[in-house]
Amino acid sequence: MIILKDEQVITEKTACALGLFDGVHRGHQLVIGRACGYKKQGLSPAVFTFATDSVTTKGHDGRLEMILTDECKRRRIERLGVEYICSPAFESMRDMSCEEFVRDILKGRLNCARAVCGTDFRFGKGAKGDSELLCELGTRYGIEVDIVKQLCDDNGVISSTVIRSAIRAGEIEIANSMLGYAFFMELPVERGKQIARRLEHPTINQRIPKGQVLLKFGVYCTRVVIDGRQYAGVTNVGIKPTFDMHTSPLAETYIIGYKGDLYGKTVQVRYDSFLRAEERFDSPQQLKEQIDKDTLAAMAYYKGTGAALGE
């Protein structure tokens, strides 16, 4: 996939999917997949989006909480068959009018012959443009427009807003159903205080960065991807209240049966099921006993799934 930079222009005609695609969830996949389908008609599949961490909102410190980092977002988009992606910072285009966007970006840079968007797509300064206006401007500039209806499942309309709420509430199965894949964080492994090692459960520590949508504090069944292999794990997301650590939020994962050294490496942890809320225990021994129970619960959860259990 070619990442367009500066004023780079696409020479062949494209079918361009439009949206923030911040979670590349099932609804986003439908829009992008529609654009990719036009390759049979000789159009190169492209995506126009914004760098997620540049988008302002009234929510988290003026920034949109990330479901995926921009690097992970690009990788998932590429897997769908996209050949070009244009992903500028939001600030660079926030004052662009609706017509300027269609004329200069869609037609001028992306050579768009077919644009695909969802019913809730907005564009232009102040988000004044909607899918109806896109159709009008598309006619003026020779761009056909496909509008894809919002996708629903048993939990309602699939949207990034609902997914964020589910993640914050620990309702990870709902989030994963809407995403179409297991929610994950891909973070560097830091050296910790070796407390878990003394409790006979060595863990990897990953600091959750500011701006990442934050899981409900607690313990999860997780899968840890190491060298292309999945290992079953137990992950505590929180601040280690038993030891009064008062740290910024950490994801601390015991990888069942894994013995290697992962310090300094970037590791992906996939979240599958919420086991229990984070607790403060009266002693390290009580914590160890609970970790033993959590490990058995995770082993039972993953038995027969193909995730390595160290057996």
How do residues 107-148 score in pLDDT, each as one tens digit? 999 999 999 999 999 999 999 999 999 999 999 999 999 999
Distances (CA, A) of 113 to 50, 138, 171: 20, 9, 40
Name the residue among 284, 266, 277 with its Cα closest to residue 193: 284
pLDDT tens sequence across 2-49:
999 988 999 999 999 999 999 999 999 999 999 999 999 999 999 999
* Long-range CB contacts (within 8 A, 24+) of 281-286: 281/242, 284/195, 284/198, 284/199, 284/242
What is the per-residue pLDDT for 60? 45
Rg (CA), the chain: 22
- Rounded Cα distance, 225 and 210, in Å: 23
- Judge whether 1 lies within some domain: no
- Average pLDDT value for residue range 155-165: 94
Q: Do 38 and 74 fall within a single domain?
A: yes
191 and 135 within one domain: no
107 shares its domain with 64? yes
Residue 176 lies in a domain: no
Sheet holding 266-277, edge to edge: 184-188, 266-277, 218-226, 229-238, 250-255, 203-207
pTM: 0.89
Whole-angstrom distance, CA of residue 118 vs CA of residue 106: 16
More confident residue, 73 or 198: 73
**CA-to-CA dists, residue 302 to 86, 175, 297, 306, angstroms:** 39, 19, 9, 8
| Total domains, the chain | 2
Domain range enclosing 248: 182-302
CATH code: domain of residue 94: 3.40.50.620
Residues 40, 91, single domain; the answer is yes
The whole-number pLDDT of residue 243 equals 47
Question: Does residue 311 belong to any structural domain of this protein?
Answer: no
Residue 116 domain-assigned?
Answer: yes
Residues 70-100 pLDDT 10s: 999 999 999 999 999 999 999 999 899 999 9
Question: Which tokens go with 118?
Answer: 């969802």
pLDDT: which is higher, 200 or 94 = 94
Confidence band for 246, pLDDT divided at 50, 70 and 90: low
Q: Contact, 139 vs 187, CB < 8 A?
A: no
Domain co-membership, 150 together with 14 = yes
pLDDT at 193: 61
